[in-house]
Amino acid sequence: MLIRLLRKYLAPYKRWITIIVALQFVATVASLLLPSLNADIIDKGVVTGDTDYIVRIGSIMLAVSAFQVVASISAVYFGAKTAMAFGRDLRSSIFRKVASFSAREMSYFGAPSLITRNTNDVQQVQMLAMMTFTLMVMAPIMMVGGIVMALREDVGLSWLVAVAVPLLAGSLALVISRMIPAYRLMQIRIDTINRVLREQLAGIRVLRAFVREPYETKRFERANQELTDVSLTVGRWMAAMFPIVMLILNLASVAVLWFGGHRIDTGSMEIGALTAYLTYLVQILMSIMMATFTLVMVPRAAVSADRIGEILHTDSSVVPPETGITDVNRHGEVRFVDVEFTYPGASDPVLRDINLTARAGQTTAIIGSTGAGKTTLVSLIPRLFDATSGTVLVNGVNVRELDPDFLWSRIGLVPQNPYLFTGTVASNLRYGKPDATEAEMWRALEIAQARDFVEEMPEGLDAPIAQGGTNVSGGQRQRLSIARALIRSPEIYLFDDSFSALDLGTDARLRSALAAVTTESTVIIVAQRISTIKNADQIVVLDDGAVVGIGTHSELLESCQTYVEIVESQQMAEVPG
Ligand code: M5T
Ligand code: MG
């Protein structure tokens, strides 16, 4: 997955990558030239006292260093740029994919995990790309080049390379093999901490009310401690790595000086060659270290790449049609034919044998006890879910065949838990209709019985709304989301329990104002209160996922036992004693 991901998302940057490799090559070759030039200065200049030679070679060295500096700075610059661009592209693909997910895929991954995947996991892969461009590309060139140059200086000491390289490689391999499992664990634990934190933030009011803070604090502490533990394990091995590398490096240097010194004594090696040899050995060992640093990241990035790939390869279960139908003539009729729906992972269907028609210009009410499946039924119309069997038709066309944008533009949905976005009252209303004028907004607010309280707010339409709409009351939130649906004047209105937080008077006023503007539309109202739906043209009684009665209020009083029970229970509540 890692390779596939890199190949796919780096493909647009092939040119840049070629430039990076070329620059790194130049920089590495330059840095390999320096020690041998230095050796020349010592052996031919310093030893013989030839100042001219020192100046000449010295200026060549300066030029080479300048070359090297420029090349490696530009290589890092392009490397960083490419890696960041790669990360940006990847994040935007993930975002687009997630946006296409239906509620089914959302609940499969869960929001916290989706967030970690799109931030931390992408960062891991991006970091690997960055390290590869800046370090990994250099390592093999430096290693091979270093060995060749070292051998050119002196063949007699080559056994030192043969000992030092495997020693270093071996000990690094040992350390890294300890780090990999820890990295794997780390990613999972970051997910956990994210989940705990999100849940606590979302439920902070409930936590306070139920004095669950101490318990939740402990829960967070545990997750935090677990992440700390695994990070510490990684950190300890990482910390051990440097001393080990330095030890081997220094031992190798001592050995070069020791054995090289003997060879100089016997006259089989020159002083300059010894210094050059020393530098080459350090360069070779450094290249191994750079390679391992990059390789350390591979397992972690691979875990992350798998997690990212999982998102990218999950297709939404609500598949949009290839060529969606966008032109239909009947206005807003919604029909359910033999619809059955089962939630993923559930054994029993939540909805069974649903057959009903909601006609344009009529109000269809859906009533039933909690958990009867009302919300689920309504969700099938805008395709938040697809029916597991049977068909849902809008304007006589199967919703699966309609162009999704067309379908949604026909529907004004007020969900059971209305959600408002960070911004202002006006920006939230514009979700319903992007080019809405102020007059249109006030009209929608007026019908939704929200005009009064918006007018009372000092900023009016520009009053700020917090994320989720938590700075307005539940009933105000409901009315604002009703206004948001009204402003687009859709053909189909879906009100899922949208009047529950309103007092009876406001409820009645809202419904009569609504009736005036929805004469042509199909209105589907989910409600709990009989008073809200009494006058509906058609009332559908839902019990445990099945339709047990359809008719008007008076018809149902005659024929539907469940309806009678609901009515009686509410009358009892209204007239106590
Ligand atoms: C009907 C189950 C739920 C209930 C039944 C949303 C949802 C519901 N269910 C799931 O298994 N997974 C889900 O994601 O489906 O639920 P509903 O349609 O939400 O019921 P309702 O709208 O009639 O209830 P209420 O309380 O809003 O009046 O058994 O467990
Ligand atoms: Mg519901």
Over the stretch 91-135, which tens digit does the pLDDT of each residue have? 999 999 998 888 888 888 888 888 889 998 999 999 999 999 888
> Within a domain: residue 325?
no
Quick check: CB of 415 below 6 Å from ligand 1? no
Question: For 326, which DSSP code?
Answer: -
- With 0-12 / 13-18 / 19 or more C-beta atoms within 10 angstroms meaning exposed / middle / buried, residue 510 is buried
280 and 421 belong to one structural domain = no
Atom of ligand 1 nearest to the CA of 497: 27
Q: Which pLDDT score, from 0 to 100, does residue 574 have?
A: 59
250 and 341 belong to one structural domain = no
Quick check: CB of 375 below 6 Å from ligand 1? yes
Spatial separation of the C-alpha atoms in residues 532 and 570, rounded to whole Å: 12
Spatial separation of the C-alpha atoms in residues 400 and 407, rounded to whole Å: 10
Residue 148 sits in a domain whose CATH number is 1.20.1560.10
Angle between helix 158-202 and 138-153 (nearest 10): 160
Spatial separation of the C-alpha atoms in residues 396 and 38, rounded to whole Å: 86
264 and 345 belong to one structural domain = no
Residue 539 sits in a domain whose CATH number is 3.40.50.300
| C-alpha 190 – ligand 2 centre gap (Å) | 33
Strand bridging mode 522-526 / 492-496: parallel
Quick check: CB of 416 below 6 Å from ligand 1? yes
Q: Which pLDDT score, from 0 to 100, does residue 489 have?
A: 87
Which numbered ligand comes closest to the C-alpha of 373? 1
- With 0-12 / 13-18 / 19 or more C-beta atoms within 10 angstroms meaning exposed / middle / buried, residue 48 is exposed
Atom of ligand 1 nearest to the CA of 346: 11
Which pair of structure tokens corresponds to residue 109? 């991954």
Atom of ligand 1 nearest to the CA of 369: 28
104 and 155 belong to one structural domain = yes
Number of compact structural domains in the chain: 2
- With 0-12 / 13-18 / 19 or more C-beta atoms within 10 angstroms meaning exposed / middle / buried, residue 267 is exposed
Spatial separation of the C-alpha atoms in residues 20 and 140, rounded to whole Å: 15
Contacts of 204 (CB under 8 A, 6+ apart): none
391 and 260 belong to one structural domain = no
347 and 416 belong to one structural domain = yes
345 and 305 belong to one structural domain = no
287 and 373 belong to one structural domain = no
Q: Which of 257, 281, 312 is the last residue of a domain?
A: 312
Spatial separation of the C-alpha atoms in residues 558 and 563, rounded to whole Å: 9
Which pair of structure tokens corresponds to residue 533? 């739906």
> Within a domain: residue 242?
yes
Closest CA to ligand 1's atom 12: 343
pTM, to two decimals = 0.74
> Can you give the residue range of the structural domain that contains 282?
2-312
> Within a domain: residue 324?
no
> Within a domain: residue 320?
no
Quick check: CB of 379 below 6 Å from ligand 1? no
Q: For residue 129, what is the enclosing H or E element?
A: helix 122-131
Which residue carries 């590309």 as its tokens?
137
Number of H helices, E strands in the chain: 21, 12
> Within a domain: residue 322?
no
225 and 173 belong to one structural domain = yes
87 and 121 belong to one structural domain = yes
> Within a domain: residue 118?
yes
362 and 508 belong to one structural domain = yes
Atom of ligand 1 nearest to the CA of 376: 18
Q: Which of 104, 350, 528 to mutate to test the pocket of ligand 1 (most atoms within 8 A of CB)?
A: 350
| C-alpha 373 – ligand 2 centre gap (Å) | 7
pLDDT tens digits along 230-281:
999 988 988 888 888 889 989 998 998 999 889 889 988 888 888 888 899 8
Q: Which pLDDT score, from 0 to 100, does residue 577 have?
A: 46
Q: Which of 312, 343, 361 is the last residue of a domain?
A: 312
> Within a domain: residue 475?
yes
| C-alpha 343 – ligand 1 centre gap (Å) | 9
294 and 352 belong to one structural domain = no
Quick check: CB of 498 below 6 Å from ligand 1? no
> What are the mean pLDDT values of the chain's consecutive 10-residue runs (577 residues total)?
89 93 93 90 86 91 94 94 95 93 83 88 92 88 90 84 88 84 84 85 81 87 93 89 87 90 87 88 87 81 88 84 71 90 87 92 91 92 90 90 87 89 91 90 92 90 86 89 91 90 86 88 90 89 92 91 89 61
> Within a domain: residue 329?
no
